[in-house]
Structure 1
Amino acid sequence: MTPVRGPEPAVSAGEDPRHYARLLAAVYDATMAGEKAPARPREVVGDSWRRVRERGVDPDCGAASATVDGPTLEAHRRSSGLDVVVDRLTAGVETLLDDGETVAIIADRDGTILWREGAPVAIGRADGLGFVPGANWAEDAVGTNAIGTALVTRRAVQIFSAEHYVRSHHQWTCAGAPIRDPATGRVIGVLDVSGPARTAHPATVALVDAVSRLAESELREQHRRRLDRLRRVAAPLLAGRAGPVAALDTDGWVAAVDAMSPADRIPLPEGVRAGRHRLPVWGLCEVDPLPGGGLVRPVPHGIDDPASATTVHLDLRSSTATVRIGTTHGQWVHHPSPRHADVLCLLARHRDGLSAADLAAHLFADRSRVVTVRAEMSRLRRMFGGVLEARPYRFADDVDVTLAVDQNSS
């Protein structure tokens, strides 16, 4: 697995942006014509160019256009999870907007622009480019750009001049950083700062990344306060019930627990609702909804616990892997880390199972790293109780596993 790297500026300190822009133009023209280029683009840019070319993006297409507006845009804003940190994000990059030529953009996890700030001159130029609220700036919509490429790579990125895939964007530079929801670990949006190419500065992407991390800290604190509120609501209910019981929020984070196996988080079926659900670690449980979560009690073994088929669908076709697990008692979705996604993919392809040494050889090209593998598998088995087995590590025999990967994946 490739480690996540820090922000990478497009233009190094002391480098002449005008000279670099001319070199990039030559690289871009040669690459688009299928000719030998005078230099290679940066790895993050070259990878993006390949992705968008495979998706059929036209480098000569015009500006993006708004795809959502009015009430629909407001609904996107409310559901994004970003509305509570808009002020912190825009205030954090306010000094970058002082030149009157730069705009700040907040986009959602799909690349749709939700909010925009900037001086009238900068806003006018952005309008001409289709850089408007409601427009989609994902890679497969408008090619390589800081919003779409940050969403794919899940890291802060600066895109300068002809590094943009669409020619009409070559007069711009942009720096974008993903914003993650600490409660789920998912990328929920991007903070982007864009302006004329001549405004490129290596410090911009670092600042944008730092502001995004501060927003994540605020989201983390808000989540902690929600857990505290749920804990207060659940306290008298836990005290009044005999036997094991726990209170979980809607993302599966454990707010309070009594006489049950300790866990920080238990994936819940989509939409917490009353009834019986088979949960990782705790097995078949009775769930009673609470404001902001649910009260969970294990069902004793042998009581109305018929055997049920379990299905696991592992989707690796995007940068965020998805595991969808279903039983007759419900369905839940989990987004594993890249390392855990690699492990699950290997186990899906080797249904007879793999030893710790076998997994170490696949993951690290080093069969001796069994301690690391066992630690990872311990975490995975706590998360997917009843689905994964050991000695050797494998999916349980009664689990129906399907795997979706890119056609180019080995």
Structure 2
Amino acid sequence: MAKAPVDVAQLVAVDPAQAARVLSETRSATLAGQRARVAPRPLIGQSWERLLRSGLDPEQDAGSGLLPRDEVRRRREASPLRHVLPVLWEGLLPASDVAPHIVVVADAEGRVLWREGSAQVLCRADGIGLEVGADWREDAVGTNGVGTAVVLRRPVQVFASEHFVRAHTSWTSAGAPVTDPRDGRLLGVVNVSGPLETMHPATLAWVGSVAKLAEARLRELHLASLERLRAVAAPVLARLDGRAVVVDADGWTAAVTGMPYTARIPLPKSRSPGPGWLPVIGPCFLEPLADGWLVRAGEEPAPHDGARIVLDLTRPRRWSVTVLGGGGSWTHELSPRHAELLYLLAVHRSGRSASQLAEAVFGDPARKVTVRAEMSRVRRYLGPFLEHRPYRFRENTDVELLLPDDPADLLPHSAAGGTSGTGGTRGARHHRAVSDAGG
């Protein structure tokens, strides 16, 4: 029987050489399917299980295909993280003069966009493929402080032989996700990597704190941008009658008149001046205004006959709902809870009561108030396409469901089993949701 996981951080602080030996023994035994004397930490063991299931070779060559320079440049220009690089460099780089390490900034897909630090360690990083443009997703290069942080959406430190791929086992890395403070969307990961003997166990807390500073800076920039747009919008809205709202390029509200305030109004992916249809507002007219849009409401929102909704759950933590209708299309990223609720409604077209949803999601039918609160938020962007008592999609709404190839990747956050008893749909790649009676 394997012993309980050791306190790796404490062991590294006391005796890095012994820590390396223990971790190496644990890795060798576990990956060979044998019982290890010391069990891996749960988050490491779970990562190894995912990779063994996927068929990744722990003896594979180090490194992965690099993005072309033009694509790296494009991703850098599109990444909000470019605005907080000074915060990241100032918070993390000075220590590289004392203990050799490098700082890596990757996007939400685990692609390395920037790296700085010790010249000696940068050279060693080239040898394992930790280069600008490299793919450091967990399922591409194994357990690591970039890709595993992307999967878990929380700070992760990977010590030496806790790495899945043998070529990485002389390294230790600590990575923390940086999320969009407006909606919690993952923007990327900031990571500190270096040799085991030079990495302090407190590195993880340090990297996590700097990531939070970067998120705070993004929040400041967002609020300042909305304030500038609000100053431009005020005299424009003062001259208008009826309902109108001014939003930035991402749909965040700067000012509103004649209608309730809504923090964000999803805009069409392809937008142009003229008539359209938007959630919450319904029929409307869009006009560019400074760095945003003036949206003037038309008639009251009405259900759209023949509307098509695509619920995309194929990419873990990147779930979305897209509405296709006569007024154009728009996409809204989903939180884990909203993704699960909409999934349940999509596979149970006859509807679910609040208590049924509560039992499926939380394992407790008494949590109806929580479900009603969440469904109220869902109705802010999907209201015209939903009914309640019970909650369900309107009959004239066509719902398509895109699911991952591996059933284990479908809503992995769901702990109550709410997505496991839904008529055998879990694991299908792509299907059109049908009524309970028909499916």
Give the structure-1-normalised TM-score. 0.91
Asked if the contact 1:106–1:189 (Cα under 8 Å) also holds between the matched residues in 2, the reply is yes
Q: Which range moves more in the overlay, 338-347 or 26-35?
A: 26-35
Render the CA deviation track for 1:46-80: whole Å, top value 9, x for unaligned: 22223233333221122214512434322221111
Q: 1:190 to 1:123 in 2, by over 3 A?
A: same
Q: How does 1:5-404 map to 2 (within 5 A)?
A: 11-12=9-10, 16-65=15-64, 67-301=66-300, 307-404=305-402
Deviation at 1:182, TM superposition (A): 2.2
Deviation at 1:343, TM superposition (A): 1.1
Asked if the contact 1:183–1:251 (Cα under 8 Å) also holds between the matched residues in 2, the reply is no
Give the count of matched residue pairs.
401
Which amino acid in 2 is paired with 1:347?
Answer: L
Aligned mates of 1:306, 1:170 — CA distance in 2: 56
Which amino acid in 1 is paired with 2:343?
Answer: C
Deviation at 1:29, TM superposition (A): 1.3
Aligned mates of 2:73, 2:287 — CA distance in 1: 32
Aligned mates of 1:196, 1:306 — CA distance in 2: 59
Q: Give the match for residue 429 of structure 2.
A: none
Asked if the contact 1:250–1:272 (Cα under 8 Å) also holds between the matched residues in 2, the reply is no
Q: Secondary structure at the match of 2:389?
A: coil
Asked if the contact 2:265–2:279 (Cα under 8 Å) also holds between the matched residues in 1, the reply is yes
Q: Secondary structure at the match of 1:54?
A: helix
Q: 1:209 to 1:164 in 2, by over 3 A?
A: same
Deviation at 1:390, TM superposition (A): 0.9
Render the CA deviation track for 1:197-234: whole Å, top value 9, x for unaligned: 12232211111011011011111111111111221222
Q: Which range moves more in the overlay, 230-239 or 115-124?
A: 230-239
Give the structure-2-normalised TM-score. 0.86
Q: 1:339 to 1:306 in 2, by over 3 A?
A: closer
Q: Secondary structure at the match of 2:194?
A: strand
Asked if the contact 2:161–2:169 (Cα under 8 Å) also holds between the matched residues in 1, the reply is yes
Which amino acid in 2 is paired with 1:249?
Answer: D
Deviation at 1:314, TM superposition (A): 3.1
Q: Secondary structure at the match of 1:189?
A: strand
Asked if the contact 1:314–1:404 (Cα under 8 Å) also holds between the matched residues in 2, the reply is yes
Q: Which range moves more in the overlay, 141-150 or 226-235?
A: 226-235
Q: Which runs of 5+ in 2 are unaligned?
A: 1-6, 409-419, 421-439
Asked if the contact 2:104–2:114 (Cα under 8 Å) also holds between the matched residues in 1, the reply is yes
Q: 1:306 to 1:110 in 2, by over 3 A?
A: closer
Q: Secondary structure at the match of 1:386?
A: helix
Asked if the contact 2:311–2:321 (Cα under 8 Å) also holds between the matched residues in 1, the reply is yes
Deviation at 1:179, TM superposition (A): 0.8
Deviation at 1:95, TM superposition (A): 4.1
Render the CA deviation track for 1:344-374: whole Å, top value 9, x for unaligned: 1111121111111111111121111111111
Render the CA deviation track for 1:107-149: whole Å, top value 9, x for unaligned: 1112111111112211111122211112111112211111011
Render the CA deviation track for 1:320-346: whole Å, top value 9, x for unaligned: 222222212122222221112111111
Asked if the contact 1:272–1:289 (Cα under 8 Å) also holds between the matched residues in 2, the reply is no
Asked if the contact 2:88–2:214 (Cα under 8 Å) also holds between the matched residues in 1, the reply is yes
Aligned mates of 1:141, 1:380 — CA distance in 2: 34
Asked if the contact 1:325–1:331 (Cα under 8 Å) also holds between the matched residues in 2, the reply is yes
Asked if the contact 2:102–2:117 (Cα under 8 Å) also holds between the matched residues in 1, the reply is yes
Aligned mates of 2:296, 2:306 — CA distance in 1: 19
Deviation at 1:100, TM superposition (A): 4.6
Q: Secondary structure at the match of 1:385?
A: helix
Render the CA deviation track for 1:365-387: whole Å, top value 9, x for unaligned: 11111111111111111232212
Asked if the contact 1:10–1:159 (Cα under 8 Å) also holds between the matched residues in 2, the reply is no
Which amino acid in 1 is paired with 2:156?
Answer: V
Q: Which range moves more in the overlay, 382-391 or 48-57?
A: 48-57
Structure showing greater relative contact order (alpha-carbon pairs closer than 8 Å, 6 or more residues apart): 1
Deviation at 1:175, TM superposition (A): 0.2
Aligned mates of 2:237, 2:142 — CA distance in 1: 52
Q: 1:306 to 1:360 in 2, by over 3 A?
A: closer
Aligned mates of 2:239, 2:133 — CA distance in 1: 50
Aligned mates of 2:301, 2:339 — CA distance in 1: 33
Deviation at 1:15, TM superposition (A): 5.1
Q: Secondary structure at the match of 2:192?
A: strand
Asked if the contact 2:305–2:397 (Cα under 8 Å) also holds between the matched residues in 1, the reply is no
Deviation at 1:184, TM superposition (A): 4.2
